[in-house]
C-alpha cells in the first residue's frame, strides 16, 4: 500500500510543478479546474481503500492537497492551511476518505451500488428479546468481527459500517443521494 501512496504523491507533485510553471497565465477558476482534474482525480481514485491507514501514511497525500491549495490561492508555505482549504471548500484527505466511504455505503443501502458490495453489508439485528437503545436506529449496520486487526478492520464490510454508524440518524435517512452528499459535506465541515 505504501508503494501505491508513494507513486500517487510523486505523480501529483509532478503535475503541481507543471501547473506552477504556468500559474501566472491562469485565472483562479481555471487553476481550480486544472488542480481538480489533475490532482484530485488521483487523490480520490480508490481512496476508500485507504480507510483505517495510520496518519503517517496519509500525511503525504495531505501534503499534496496542501500544496495544491497554496498553488491555487497563490499563498506561501507560511500561511496556515485550514482557512485556505475552507475557502476552497476542500475536505482534508482523511475526511475525504470518510466522505467517499459513507457515500458508497449510502449507495449500497439504496440499491445503486454493485451487488457484491451490497451483499457485504447487513443491517443490525438485536441478539435477544431485550429492548436495547440500538433498536431505535433502523439504519444501524452490523460490524463483523475480523480476524486481522489492521487489514480486517480496513476492509469495506468492516470500515463502511463503522463510518456509517457514526453518522447522525437524520443524515443517514436522507431521501436522495444529492441531499445525502450535501448534508454529509456540511457535517464534515467544522
Whether 111 and 85 map to the same domain: the answer is no
Whether 15 and 78 map to the same domain: the answer is yes
Residue 74: closest CA among 15, 31, 11, 18: 31
Q: What is the pLDDT of residue 180?
A: 93
- With helix as H, strand as E and coil as C, how does 69-131 read? HHHHHCCCCCCCHHHHHHHHCCCCHHHHHHHHHHHHHHHHHCCCCCHHHHCCCCECCCCCCCC
Helix 28-35 vs helix 55-73: angle between axes, to the nearest 10 degrees?
Answer: 160
Q: What is the pLDDT of residue 142?
A: 72
| pLDDT band of 28, cuts 50, 70, 90 | very high
Q: Which of 90, 124, 153 is the last residue of a domain?
A: 90
Whether 33 and 107 map to the same domain: the answer is no
What pLDDT, in 10s, does the model give residues 130-189?
665 555 566 777 777 776 666 667 778 788 888 888 899 899 889 999 999 999 999 988
Whether 8 and 30 map to the same domain: the answer is yes
141 three-class SS: strand
Whether 63 and 129 map to the same domain: the answer is no
Domain count, the chain: 2
What pLDDT, in 10s, does the model give residues 31-88?
999 999 999 999 999 888 888 888 999 999 999 999 999 999 999 999 999 999 999 9
Whether 148 and 132 map to the same domain: the answer is yes
Whether 30 and 82 map to the same domain: the answer is yes
Whether 129 and 147 map to the same domain: the answer is yes
Whether 72 and 117 map to the same domain: the answer is no
Which is higher by pLDDT, 150 or 5? 5
Whether 37 and 56 map to the same domain: the answer is yes
Phi, psi angles (nearest 5°) of residue 97:
-65, -45
Whether 101 and 84 map to the same domain: the answer is no
Q: Which of 26, 61, 90 is the last residue of a domain?
A: 90
> Which three cell numbers, joined as nine digits, stand for 77?
508555505
Give the domain range for residue 78.
2-90
Whether 73 and 102 map to the same domain: the answer is no
Q: Which of 90, 121, 146 is the last residue of a domain?
A: 90
Amino acid at each position: 500500500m505504501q508503494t501505491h501512496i508513494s507513486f500517487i504523491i510523486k505523480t501529483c507533485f509532478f503535475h503541481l510543478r507543471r501547473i506552477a510553471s504556468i500559474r501566472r497565465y491562469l485565472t483562479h477558476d481555471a487553476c481550480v479546474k486544472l488542480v481538480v482534474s489533475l490532482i484530485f482525480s488521483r487523490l480520490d481514485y480508490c481512496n476508500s481503500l485507504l480507510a483505517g491507514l495510520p496518519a503517517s501514511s496519509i500525511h503525504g497525500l495531505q501534503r499534496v492537497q496542501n500544496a495544491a491549495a497554496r498553488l491555487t490561492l497563490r499563498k506561501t508555505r507560511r500561511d496556515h492551511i485550514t482557512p485556505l482549504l475552507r475557502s476552497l471548500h476542500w475536505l482534508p484527505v482523511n475526511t475525504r476518505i470518510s466522505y467517499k466511504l459513507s457515500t458508497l455505503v449510502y449507495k449500497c443501502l439504496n440499491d445503486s451500488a454493485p451487488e457484491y458490495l451490497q451483499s457485504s453489508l447487513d443491517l443490525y439485528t438485536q441478539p435477544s428479546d431485550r429492548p436495547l437503545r440500538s433498536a431505535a436506529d433502523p439504519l444501524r449496520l452490523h460490524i463483523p468481527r475480523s480476524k486481522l486487526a489492521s487489514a480486517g478492520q480496513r476492509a469495506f464490510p468492516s470500515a463502511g459500517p463503522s463510518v456509517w454508524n457514526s453518522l447522525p440518524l437524520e443524515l443517514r435517512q436522507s431521501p436522495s443521494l444529492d441531499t445525502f452528499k450535501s448534508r454529509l459535506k456540511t457535517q464534515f465541515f467544522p
